A and B are shown apart, each in its own frame.
Chain A
């Protein structure tokens, strides 16, 4: 989609989002200007400017008085829009796949699973351009043979029947409990477990460190490891942890009262304290003025 000649870039950006918003209304392509403006969060006057620009660039055809005439003699005030460029339909469809709304999504829905994608509209969605839009078949006898459309409601896993559950209880069957002793699944959890293990082992030799808390929480350790040790290997981080615990045991590192070992390891103790430094922009101001 290239910008038409004579149209400024901001107007082109606005025209594009307006055309995509109209495409998203298909096949009912007669949204009111107020609705469109509310959807796009722009003023109605701006919207009218964009529509006028699109009409002038022959990207949009507006059919006035398209609705049924009301009982009063004022006539219809409905505008029907027809987006000329098919690529906007594709763009609108692509954007629709990215914007998720309840009950409709990019995942495999029951409709998609029942109908092969190749047999559907080549644009890959239910949005049909006005040129291709045709009234659905009205013949009841022809449609009666077709299977009913699958429900849009998500398929929920069915519960086992009550008698089966009761039978399980009566037979003495119990759910198997997986032991926690196995290797932790995530890397972060393994590392935090390793740190706790190292600390515990050190405490066996030097019981005075038992008073010091090892970890804050596993979640906090996980977040820290995820953000700060992303590019490091597990072995590397383990080595750092081991060195830290050895340094603490040798009294090379002193842990403050109330501080946990993990906080000391991460160095986050006291980092949140802000030191008042006076005018923090003074250096830059002096640099600007050349002093």
Chain B
């Protein structure tokens, strides 16, 4: 979890992107109705780099400074931790400290899904994470957030036509951009 104030934007420039990519990002940025951005491509294709460009752009030029980068695995861990703590609280009701911990975990999830200006979910490698769990418990909450008009940026390896998701769902909710060849270590 990294706040935008803690991010290092040195070397992350929009000018490094191709004209086509810049046009796509500009269209998305200035489209008031589009809140979700689904950046997909193979690993090491630079989806995180482009997402960082977008987050920096939103922070610098659109005053959306309440932005957070969350790793997908970390998000899954936090949700599971919240569940296990709630179960423990149910079994030991008089443990005040445990109750506070559980409440803190729930509040953190509430911040992720309802209060932040910009939520950037990074490293969503759908072939290695617990995808059924993601699809069942996290994807609906992300889609709710997008429907509320709050910005969600997902940098992932999952293409929108993946058979594990119903067809057309991601295209309806998100602006999908295919990224390939934007490797930050490519010497740009």
Contact = CB atoms under 8 A, between A and B. Distances in A.
Interface of A: 8-10, 12-14, 17, 40-42, 98, 100-102, 105, 154, 156, 223, 227, 271-272, 274-275, 277, 280-281, 283-285, 287-288
B42 to A, nearest CB: 6
Interface in B56-101: 59-61, 63, 65, 94, 96-97, 100
B159 interface: yes
B40 to A, nearest CB: 8
Contact of B96 (A10, A42, A154, A272): A154
A147 B153 CA distance: 55
B167 interface: no
B6 A41 contact: yes
B140 A227 contact: yes
Contacts of B140: 227
Contact of B178 (A102, A156, A275, A288): A288
Contacts of A14: 5
Contacts of B100: 100-102, 105
Contact of B180 (A8, A40, A285): A285
Contacts of B59: 9-10, 13
Nearest to A11: B5
21 contacts: A9-B59, A9-B61, A9-B65, A10-B4, A13-B65, A17-B5, A40-B6, A42-B6, A105-B100, A154-B96, A156-B94, A271-B132, A272-B131, A272-B132, A274-B127, A277-B163, A280-B161, A281-B180, A284-B180, A285-B178, A288-B180
A166 B140 CA distance: 53
A152 to B, nearest CB: 11
Contact of B159 (A101, A223, A284): A284
A227 B136 CA distance: 7
Interface string B1-35: 00111100100000000000000000000000000
A274 B65 contact: no
Interface in B140-188: 140, 159, 161-164, 178, 180
A98 to B, nearest CB: 7
B180 A102 contact: no
Contacts of A288: 178, 180
Interface residues of B, number: 32
A281 B162 CA distance: 10
B151 to A, nearest CB: 16
B97 A102 contact: yes
Nearest to B58: A9
Interface of B: 3-6, 9, 41-42, 59-61, 63, 65, 94, 96-97, 100, 103-104, 107, 127, 131-132, 136-137, 140, 159, 161-164, 178, 180
Nearest to B160: A284
A9 B9 CA distance: 13
Nearest to A105: B100
Nearest to B111: A98
Contacts of B60: 8-10
Contacts of A40: 6
Contacts of A101: 100
Given A42-B5, A280-B162, A100 B180 contact: no
Nearest to A279: B42
Nearest to B2: A41
Contact of A12 (B65, B132, B159, B180): B65
Contacts of B63: 9
A17 B5 CA distance: 9
B137 A227 contact: yes
Contacts of B107: 98, 100
Given A156-B94, A288-B180, 14 more contacts: A9-B63, A10-B4, A10-B9, A13-B4, A13-B59, A13-B65, A42-B5, A100-B104, A105-B100, A227-B136, A272-B131, A281-B41, A283-B159, A284-B180
